[in-house]
Structure formats: structure tokens, C-alpha cells
Amino acid sequence: MTSKRYAQIVGWGKYVPTQVLTNDDLAKMVDTSDDWIRARTGIVERRIADPRETTSTMSIKAARAALQVADVAPERLDLIIVTTATPDYLFPATACLVQDALGARRAGAFDLLAGCSGFVYGLGVGSQLIISGAYENVLVIGAETLSRIMDWTDRNTCVLFGDGAGALLLQASDAPGGVLSFTLGADGSGGDLLMLPGGGSRHPASAETVAQKLHYARMNGREVFRFATRIMGQAAKEAIQAAELKIDDVDLFIPHQANIRIIQSAAKHLGLPMDKVFVNLDRYGNTSCASIPIAFCEAIEEERIKPGDHLVLVSFGAGLTWASAVVQWHVPLPAPRLPGWKRLLRRVRYCWARLVSRLRRTYRKFSSWWGKAVGRIRGNNNG
């Protein structure tokens, strides 16, 4: 008889840009104030990527940190899922850029788009691929460069969002725990409430779409707020029930960090005291898919998680979508720090991966040039 498999979280990592944009900075750009933003959202400041940073570069940093914590080599990854609404390109997938930079030779890679719920969607998909027996190691990344799709003259949106990345590494285990349950949901009738209209097949990028500002995120904040306060508690309850747990069994609630009033309303719906709720949106704003994995990493850093704990993750976002999951923590904390030589070896590996990638590109160019040259010579001889 084969033993039951579980998908444990064995690695975690985050990256946030160094540049901080405060509410006071924003008040110099649009008609808003620190008081308004704090009172209506709970946000104090957010991080903004520098011009060289993109969703893939931040993903790579978070991914490397997660692999280092778990002491897992990139070659052991079976799958990389990057959840994002702001990929580097429409294609290739950002996950493929991450796969190349890590040197994860055996890994499949794809992007997953489910609005801000993307990360929990990714966790659901990744955990099931492990529990089914298909894969051993799946890296789920949430990363966003939302500052690139903000209209910095629109106070309805630009005060809310920030940039960053987080990654969790899922691994097959026969020890009970890990991702115990998840629920995914969608209501496409609310798709117009939060969207990026331009750049897709409906409104391909053109001078006109740019003039109409269709390349910026648009939102009906009031309606999204109403939806979020209704769905967050409900979705969390469903995942708790699916894991056959009770509210009292929840040790830490890690919600999508969009608005403190939405978080408080979800906690109230569940009957959870705020000391069981993890909040860091004051420092980062809403980082969409990156919000839950960054919060997860910080909960570990702040020693809010210990083995045996039941954690509830819940998110909502564009689509409209929602998702929730229950995780039972298993890994002893704090994670042991890798010895210096192992960290050095990792750095060498990543340099090697970069070199191999360059060689492959050069080889492709050369073989294409060679093929054409041979074709020309043959053509000349025949002629």
C-alpha cells in the first residue's frame, strides 16, 4: 500500500525594492493626504521598483531565497509557477525567465493569472500536483511590478498599490500537514470592476490606447470593497471546513493585504481576534499576488508561526476571483542557516546557469547563421 502524500512548505523567500514611497510623497503628486490614506486603507508607505527591476528580477531573488532556506538545488524543481498580473511580457511567461535564471533544467514553468488571488490559486494547483504523485518540488511565486500599470494622476488607484515578490517551495512528504485544503472561486460578471483594458486582443496597444490611458489599471473601489468584505470571511470559512477544522483551531490568519478595513471585517466575520491576524500592509500597500507570500515570510521572521500551527490564507481580486487555503506548519523554526561554502556554491551555480543560458543563445544564433550560409553555398553551386 502506498503511503499518503502531503505538500509541505519547506522554503520561503521574499524581495521588496528598496525605494519607499510614503503617503506624504503621494500627497505631492495627487490630491490626497496621509490622513485620508491611513484612515481609509491602513497604508502608510509602499515599495517601488527601480527602473532596472521587473517582475522576473524580483521573482528570481525571492525564489533563490526560498531554495536556500530549504537547501534544495534548482535542478530538483519539477515546476515553477509565477502568479502575477504584471508579467515582464505577455509572452514568454515570466516563469520561463525565472527557470532560466535559476538553471532549473528539469522544471516546467508557467504563469498563472487570477488577479490578487493568484498566489493562493498557485498554491492550490502546486499542492495538488504534489499530492497526486506527479511532482516532488514545486516553487510558487507571487510577484508584481504594479507601479508600471498605475496612472500616477489617479488618486483612486495609485495610493493603494506597491511592488514586491514572495516565493514558497512546496515539497512532497509523508509527514501529515502542509496544504490541507483550498477553495477557488470566480465571478466574471464583475470583471469590469478592476481591469487593465489595453494591450490585449480586445484593445491591442496603439497610440490611441495610450492616449486613452487604457494601459493603466482601472477600478471601481467602492464595488470591489463591497465584494471583498462579503467574500473574504466566507471563503476562509469554506477552507477551514474543508480541512475539518473549527475557527478555534486557527492559529494565524494571513489575509490578502489590500485594506485594513477589509481585513478587520473578515476577522469579525470569522470571530477571530486581531492578534491572530497578520498585517503588514502599512509598509507595503497592496502588492497583489506578492501580498500573501511576503506576509507569510514576515510572519515567520516575526516568530508568529510554529510547528503544528494552522494557518489560513485568503485572498480576493480582479476577475473577480477569490481563494483560500489552510496550511498546517511542519518545519522547525528558525530554519538553520546554510554554511558559507554551500551559499558560495549556490552563487557559483547561478553564475553557471547564466553562462549556460548565454552559450545556448549564442549557439542558436550561430547555428541559424551557419544553416543560412550552407544553404547559400549549396544554392550557388547548384546554380
| Interacting residues toward ligand COA by CB under 6 A | 32, 36, 40-41, 116, 155-156, 159, 194, 219, 221-222, 224-225, 228, 258-259, 286, 317
Which residue in 96, 116, 158, 289 is the catalytic one?
116
> Which residue in the block uniquely carries the three cell numbers 497604508?
43
Give the integer Cα–Cα distance in Å for 259 and 224.
11
d(CA 20, CA 371): 51
Between 243 and 314, CB nearer to ligand COA:
314
Min separation Cβ 190 and ligand COA, Å: 11
Q: Which is nearer to ligand COA, 95 or 232 (CB)?
A: 232
* 116 assigned to active site: yes
Between 250 and 258, name the residue whose CB sits nearer to ligand COA.
258
CA distance 38 to 312: 26
Which of 223, 251 has the CB closer to ligand COA? Answer: 223
* CA proximity to 277, closest of 288, 264, 290, 286: 264
Among residues 96, 137, 158, 256, the one annotated as catalytic is 256
The total of other beta-carbon atoms located within 10 Å of residue 269's CB is 16
What span, in angstroms and rounded, lies between the C-alpha atoms of 330 and 177?
A: 7
Are the C-beta atoms of 292 and 119 separated by less than 8 Å? yes
45-47 and 108-112 strand pairing = unpaired
For helices 340-382 and 55-70, what crossing angle results, to 10°?
130
The residue with its CB nearest to ligand COA is 221
* Residue 286 falls in the annotated catalytic set: yes
Residue of 286, 289, 297, 310 marked catalytic: 286
- We find the least distance from the C-beta atom of residue 111 to ligand COA, in angstroms, to be 18
User: What residue type is 75 in one-letter code?
Assistant: E
d(CA 216, CA 320): 18
State yes or no: is 289 an active-site residue: no
Please report, as a single letter, which amino acid is at residue 20: V
Nearer to ligand COA, 137 or 291 (CB): 291
| DSSP secondary structure, 65-103, as one string | HHHHHHT--GGG--EEEEE-SS-SSSSS-HHHHHHHHHT
CB of 281 to ligand COA, least distance (A): 10
Question: Minimal distance in Å, beta carbon 199 to ligand COA?
Answer: 19
Nearest distance in Å: CB 332, ligand COA? 34
Catalytic residues: 116, 256, 286
